Amino acid sequence: MRRFEVGIHTYVEIELDDAVINVVDDEWRSQLYNLKTPEEIAEHVAYNLVINKAHLSQLDGWVDQPDENAKLISKEPDWNMLARELPVVKG
């Protein structure tokens, strides 16, 4: 059996309506995610748009917003990957 550590990295561009950011307040945070800055909100939304292939209206806290409020501008992420083999520890 061989083990590998694989780093996966990409950048995408998204566009968020102010409503996506403005809905995140203390009450929202207490029930959902502790997102404090617009950048943290963008990271959370982008992760779900790209990795989970979700639409905004499928995300907790934004189900009442139109999908157009969060747009993936980059159509296809440019994935960079780097793998390295890890030593096998026997014992």
Reported as a single tens digit per residue, the pLDDT across 67-85 is 999 999 977 788 899 999 9
> Are 69 and 55 within 8 A, CB to CB?
no
How buried is 36 (Cβ within 10 angstroms: 0-12 exposed, 13-18 middle, 19+ buried)?
Answer: exposed
Q: Given pLDDT bands bounded at 50, 70 and 90, which one contains residue 88?
A: confident
The pLDDT score that the predictor gives to residue 90 is 79
pTM over 0.85: no
Task: Write out pLDDT tens, residues 2-45.
Answer: 899 999 999 999 999 999 999 999 999 999 999 999 999 999 99
Give the whole-angstrom CA distance, residue 35 versus residue 49: 17
> Are 19 and 56 within 8 A, CB to CB?
no
> Are 63 and 57 within 8 A, CB to CB?
yes
